[in-house]
């Protein structure tokens, strides 16, 4: 089993992920694969060598999850969880002057006021918005009506942007 020492208290200010964690993950992957990852000769691409699922505890805290064929991890039906984690931002958003406030530059935005007076961190608002976008995207996958609506929205944005470029070009504003 892999043995890694946990970082000292003085290194807590370093950004995640810590180098020792990355090293432990890589060593565990190498051990699980029975050496370095196999490479196909025909196209020089790696191939899956994992055939079983395993949870590997890492000394110093954490668990390495090794699963065959896992391509990604995402959010599914996470609206309730997002609401619980970011309850403070949602409570402030309910106090905004406008119901459709995007919390960026609208007048009377309670969230921006809280950021200005230091009650809420601007990075926290960014993470909240990112989680909402990812949750909406995951919910739209497989929903043909929502996918079409999003596609039409982006087509309209693209048309508008191209029109603005043509206007600038035709009027010598470039």
Give me the domains of the chain, ranges plus CATH numbers.
9-66 (no CATH), 74-145 (1.10.40.50)
pLDDT at 1 (0 to 100): 43
d(CA 126, CA 119): 15
pLDDT at 53 (0 to 100): 76
What are the start-end ranges of the H helices in the chain?
A: 19-32, 79-85, 87-93, 110-116, 122-140, 144-170
pLDDT at 147 (0 to 100): 84
Sequence-ordered list of residues with C-beta below 8 angstroms from that of 46, at least 6 positions apart, any chain:
37, 38, 39, 40
Sequence-ordered list of residues with C-beta below 8 angstroms from that of 39, at least 6 positions apart, any chain:
45, 46, 47
pLDDT at 160 (0 to 100): 96
pLDDT at 48 (0 to 100): 58
pLDDT at 8 (0 to 100): 46
Query: For each of the chain's 174 residues, which pLDDT tens digit applies?
Result: 444 444 444 444 445 566 667 777 777 766 665 555 566 667 766 665 556 778 888 888 888 877 776 566 666 778 788 889 999 999 999 999 998 899 988 899 999 999 999 999 999 999 999 999 888 888 777 788 888 888 999 999 999 999 999 999 999 886
């Amino acid at each position: 089993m892999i043995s890694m020492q946990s970082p000292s208290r003085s290194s807590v200010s370093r950004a995640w992920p810590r180098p020792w964690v990355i090293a432990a993950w890589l060593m565990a992957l190498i051990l699980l694969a029975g050496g370095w990852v196999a490479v196909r000769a025909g196209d020089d691409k790696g191939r899956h060598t994992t055939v079983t699922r395993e949870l590997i505890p890492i000394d110093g805290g954490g668990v390495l999850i090794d699963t065959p064929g896992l391509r990604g991890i995402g959010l599914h039906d996470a609206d309730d969880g997002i609401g619980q984690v970011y309850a403070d931002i949602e409570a402030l958003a309910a106090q905004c002057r406008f119901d459709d406030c995007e919390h960026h530059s609208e007048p009377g935005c309670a969230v921006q006021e809280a950021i200005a007076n230091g009650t809420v961190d601007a990075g926290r608002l960014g993470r909240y918005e990112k989680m909402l976008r990812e949750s909406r995207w995951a919910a739209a996958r497989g929903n043909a009506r929502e996918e079409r609506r999003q596609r039409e929205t982006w087509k309209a944005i693209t048309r508008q942007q191209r029109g603005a470029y043509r206007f600038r070009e035709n009027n010598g504003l470039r």
